[in-house]
Amino acid sequence: MSVEMEPIAEMICELTRNCNIKEEYFAASFNLSPSEIKFLKLLAVKPQYTIKEFREILKLTPGRITHILTSLEAKNLITRTLDPKDKRVILVCLLPKATPLILNLQQNYNELHKRILQNVSEDELKKITSSLKILNKVFDQWVNQK
């Protein structure tokens, strides 16, 4: 490959750092942790997950998942129940109280990204979208071959 990899690696690291800063800022505005936000975003898409599914999707240890779920449970946002079909499986579901919060999270998340990207032209946005699709595809392939 004739393309120099070091500048690309540095840009990916810088993007990751900036994304982490953005996620921490956003989560703090809702008195949540970035990890709690990730769980709630997933539960907004699909209303029920097993702990095993969370572990596979988020690549977290069982202990870390338990810690995050305990925190969300203490905030009365989720509930954990035994699967009636298999008592070894724990199901995680949103509580009704979480619905307005989820809607507010989604709306504010979109608004934050609009503010971040407000000075980017339509053509640049298309390039960013295309590049991010490629990066996600490449990283997904890398993760799935491990």
pLDDT tens-digit readout, 132-141: 999 999 999 9
Which residues have a Cβ under 8 Å from the Cβ of 91 and sit 6 or more positions away? Answer: 48, 49, 50, 80, 81, 82, 83
Task: Identify the domain containing residue 46 by its residue range.
Answer: 5-145
Is the per-residue pLDDT at 29 higher than 80? yes
C-alpha to C-alpha distance for 74 and 24, rounded to whole angstroms: 20
- Radius of gyration in angstroms for the set of CA atoms belonging to the chain, rounded to a whole number: 18
pLDDT tens-digit readout, 18-27: 999 999 999 9
Mean of all residue pLDDT scores within the chain: 93
C-alpha to C-alpha distance for 69 and 79, rounded to whole angstroms: 8
- Whichever domain contains 113, its CATH number is 1.10.10.10
Domains identified in the chain, total number: 1
Q: Is the separation of the CB atoms in 112 and 69 below 8 Å?
A: no
- Environment class of 105 (CB within 10 Å of its CB; exposed 0-12, middle 13-18, buried 19+): buried
Per-residue pLDDT, averaged over 24-38, amounts to 93
H/E stretch holding 88: strand 86-94
